[in-house]
Amino acid sequence: MSSATTFRCPNSQCRKAFQQPKDGIGKRARCRHCGTMMELTENGAVEVMVLNTPRNRRKATLTLGDNTLSTPGDGVVAQYRRTSSGQIGRFELQEVLGTGGFGTVYRAFDSMLDRAVALKIPHAERVQTPEAATRFLREAKAAARLTHPNIVPVFDAGKEEDTYFIASGFVEGKSLEKFVEPDSPLRPRQAARIVVLLARAVHYAHSQGIIHRDIKPHNVMIDEANTPFLMDFGLARLEDNQEKLTKDGAVMGTPAYMAPEQANPERTSEVGPRSDQYSLGALFYELLTGDAPFRGPVHQVLLQVISEEPVPPRQRQAAISADLETICLKAMSKDPNHRFADCGVLADDLERWLEDRPITARKVSTFERGVRWVRRNPLIGGLVTAIVLVSLIGFAVSSTALSYSLASQEKAVSEAERAQRNEKEAKHHAQLARDNESLAISHQQSAEVARQTAEEERKKAEQERQNVVEALDRLKYRNYLTQMTLAHHSFQEASPGNVDRLLDNSEPEFRDWEWHYLDKLRKTHLSEQAIDWLKGYDHHRGCAISPSLDDIILEQDGILRSISLHDGSVNWSHPSGGLGVEAAAFSPDERHVAIKLIKQSIFRICSAKTGEPLFDLPSETNTGRGTTAFAVQENRLFTATFDRVDLWDLKTRKSILQTRPNQKAVIKSLAVSPTGEHFAVAYGGSVCCVCSVESGKTIYRIETNGGTPKRIAFSPDGTLLVTSGDVRDIQVWDIKKKALLNVLHGHRGGIVDVSFSPDGERIASASDDRTIRIWNLKKRRPPQILTGHADGVRRLRYSKDGESLVSASADGTIRFWDTSLRQDFTRLMNLDGIAGSVAISPDETQVAVGTDQGKIEIVELQTGKHVASFPVFKGIVATLDYSNDGKQIVATAFNDKTIRLIDSQSGEEIWAVDDHQQRVFQVAFHPNGKWVASRGCYDGFLAIRSVEDGSIVKKIQAFGNWTAPFRFTADGTKVVTAGWNIVELWDLETGKKLRRYVDRPGKANTDLQISSNGLVAVSNSNGTIKILNLDTLEEIATLTGHAQNIYSIAFGPEGRRLFSAGLDTTVRVWDVPTATEILNLQGPAFTLADGRFSPDIAATSDGRLITGTYGSILLLWNGKKSHE
């Protein structure tokens, strides 16, 4: 036998020593500790790679990332390109190894290095963006840093033409996923050996700063020698800051093998090396039991991973040892701190088990340690066992002989001694029984403690699960609120498609006042109608829309037709005699139509009703060059031909003005001011001239910003001129100031037509980009965009009331658009005077409104019908309230100390009192119906009066100033008062102050409301609202959004919604639980010039919101739930 030589494993992570015969030099061996394959040489062991065919042994130096490869000795760098569908650069595709949602993996041959490789090629759509391509190549960069016998190496990566690729070592074998048959677990020792090698590989990757984050059976290859190789670093994260591409909060990985900190979006910052250890534990679990620890839909698995413990492996496979179960479950601990310190420690513990040594994951008894020692040292153990057995046999023989010799002596033992022994034995058994009883009690207590601990853990897991569910619910609720805000904006911008989509896609369980309110608005305000009667007509020539939007003039095949826009019927048709119609226009009164005939160069005046030609006007200056434009105004016709403008008197049929504002320049467009003072002509070459109708002279020469202004238009008052054309911009010019006011950007095609709204506040523009844009000249915000035409839009015209817009397109359709101002409210009625206070009757059928005429007006809530008018005061009725039965109304006036109680049916006065030092700020009925309360400004005291005669029965001295709101609780036992920056809670029976809230000094509290669910809302003159707890007056939230004073607020039916009206002319709707503004409702101007008082607001129990305004209008916002 040849002598042995000592070698050391070349793997830097192992370096274990072993012995081999000298005749083994030149041969290969595998390390029994880490599985590293090595070649034995006289200088020691050298690591070798055996991942593919022998042809791979040619050495080469590879450079990743730039599609180049250099080999030692040749001194050149060769470029490889994709030559065919079976070739990617230097790689020849041989067979498909697998295809998935991300891409395809091929077995390919590297012709440069003469070896087989695995070539991963992603689907084109997966790497369309630079971020996706960077994420794909990150796998190559991560794996290229790793050199380990159990990690598949990456040789090359890059992009060949439009194809990205990663070339890695090819492993002859199959994935661990296919290696393990379903429900057929591996033998425990085989499973442990595989996980030891994988844990060593993962520990090595962690030492290089790389976290895999997607360890699973599919990403482990098993070669023909049953050696595992870790691959696919597609989700790996480099621990330096240069390539940390993962977004915060993103859940990445495979759910069944994902660590809890990976599965929980709120814990992704905790993902680290121990997350990979958890995945190894889950993989080990499947190898031992034949099934993954968790199964089910993705969302269910994620929830299980976060909050549930896996079934212990021994309950699935009884043959699994307790030690392996302990190691597996420790690696899968929910808390990363309870797992092994690193994957190297995990591998060490598995090796201890493989070598029958005690593991560190749990304590081992002395006896068990001895048994394992014998297993590890069978020769020595056998000798020791034999010696012990011989000794025991000898001792037994000796004892037998001795017992015979002492038999006679034993018989001489007295009965007394036997009795004594029996007594002692009985005492011993009694003590043993007591000890067993104590032990049983101790075990019972331990079991109870374990049960309580398990129950606490279960409750904790259930709480964590509930927290996740609640977080998702909060996210969905926030999304709903955003949808409602966007739906309201879309309604104001007249985008019915967006309104429908946002309302219909919202969560039904969250739908509240705002949803029902918006649902009613869309059903009554939004409309869009498209008709296709005009297909086949030429929309470029002879197209004119009547001012009433009733008819359109079009030419087709030499025939001029007037078509009704209501039903598509032809009003009249006349042949143009083959002369062709270049342009057409209606007169403002729609009595005449003027057309320009191309071939005869004449202007023809026709009847708009019948189409009959009335007379012709010559176009004497036409030279056949340029285009012709004209406009009709009253009994005058403006025509433009080449460079000359003519003004014709249609009664005398003579030209009364001839002018050439810009001689020898071709006129492209002409417009006449509605006031008749000016006309404007646009020329090729970015020039536009504004001229006086009286003299024909140019008063303002405009140099537009590039391009020919093909379309120009005056505002209704004649002060503004817009120019537009090929430059895709609309330029707004001030005629008097002779200045450019604004440039409107947005269209992506040339602008073909523009139209002012009758009020001059909006401009509608039509474009070749198939859209219509409506620009608001007063509000600087993005334009309203109308889409629906399938081709360029050729003509536009507003209706006379400005609430409709009609457009004609080259797609052959006419579309009618509802562009009216989106009013959020309904006018119940106009009042005689300014509305200062509002109260709703208990049965919610009537509204009492106090006006600045000193009257109380009674209005039916359902119909807005005026029922009665009661003159009660000489000044503004500042506050009023209905009695519980609705038969009486208590009221007081601004700057008046008098309180009056009247009959709500007849208006007759029941009593009047005047005992406050200053004017009365508020009056209200007590819930018991027997009392009326009043509170004055500055004196602060709250007077509780008898309904019978107004006499004071109780008095509370609260803090007050010029504002003094108050509200009773629903049970009538307490009252909340406010004054300046102080809110106080009082016991009504004892008059004792229970709680006090003090806000930071500044503005004054203006109104106070109590919700049905125990909240207090207090509005302030600084534009904020405080939400307080009714019992403690502790602040819960602050609502901000109003720009000016808030003088009136009201809770919705369930206290989840709060409505506020302020001097900034808005009514706002708030979500109280999240302190979020949902809607900003616009009404007529609320602000009063002298600032005497503010609008009041009230809400019904079914969701109708009522307020008065300074414009003598009673308004209704209807959020009542539909019962369709």
Distance CA 732, CA 559 (A): 38
**Can you name the residues that pair with 1024 across neighbouring β-strands?**
1040
The two tokens of residue 223 are 């070669």
Distance CA 884, CA 905 (A): 14
What are the C-alpha distances in Å from 275 to residues 211, 215, 229, 339?
8, 10, 19, 10
Counting Cα atoms < 13 Å in the Cβ hemisphere of 972 gives: 12
Residue 983 CA, distance from chain mean position: 38
Segment (H or E) for 15: none
Distance CA 90, CA 299 (A): 44
- Helical segments of 1073-1114, H only: none
**Can you name the residues that pair with 508 across neighbouring β-strands?**
none
Query: 139 exposed, middle or buried (CB, 10 Å; 0-12, 13-18, 19+)?
Result: buried
865: three-class secondary structure by DSSP? coil
Distance CA 1056, CA 208 (A): 55
Distance CA 870, CA 877 (A): 11
Asked if 236 and 139 count as a contact pair (C-beta separation under 8 A), the reply is yes
Smallest CA-to-CA distance from 669 within 618, 623, 625, 709 is with 709
Query: 394 exposed, middle or buried (CB, 10 Å; 0-12, 13-18, 19+)?
Result: exposed
The two tokens of residue 1021 are 């003159």
Distance CA 285, CA 308 (A): 15
Distance CA 455, CA 297 (A): 27
Alpha-carbon dihedral sign for residues 621, 560, 794, 753: positive
Asked if 285 and 332 count as a contact pair (C-beta separation under 8 A), the reply is yes
Q: Which amino acid type is present at position 937?
A: C
Asked if 522 and 503 count as a contact pair (C-beta separation under 8 A), the reply is yes
Asked if 630 and 585 count as a contact pair (C-beta separation under 8 A), the reply is yes
Smallest CA-to-CA distance from 952 within 901, 913, 902, 894 is with 913
Distance CA 393, CA 390 (A): 5
Asked if 1072 and 1054 count as a contact pair (C-beta separation under 8 A), the reply is no
Place of tokens 């309360």: 933
399: three-class secondary structure by DSSP? helix
Segment (H or E) for 376: helix 366-376
The two tokens of residue 1101 are 């129990």
The two tokens of residue 918 are 């200053």
120 is in an annotated binding site: yes
How wide is the angle at C-alpha 347 spanned by C-alphas 345 and 351, nearest 5°? 115
- Other C-beta atoms closer than 10 Å to the C-beta of 996 total 11
Segment (H or E) for 890: strand 888-893
Helix axes 343-354, 188-207, angle to 10 degrees: 150
User: Which residues, other chains included, contact 914 with Cβ-Cβ below 8 Å and sequence gap of 6+?
Assistant: 897, 898, 899
What are the C-alpha distances in Å from 1124 to residues 225, 519, 520, 1121?
72, 12, 12, 9
Helix axes 322-331, 343-354, angle to 10 degrees: 170
Distance CA 386, CA 378 (A): 12
Binding-site positions for ATP read 120
Binding-site positions read 120
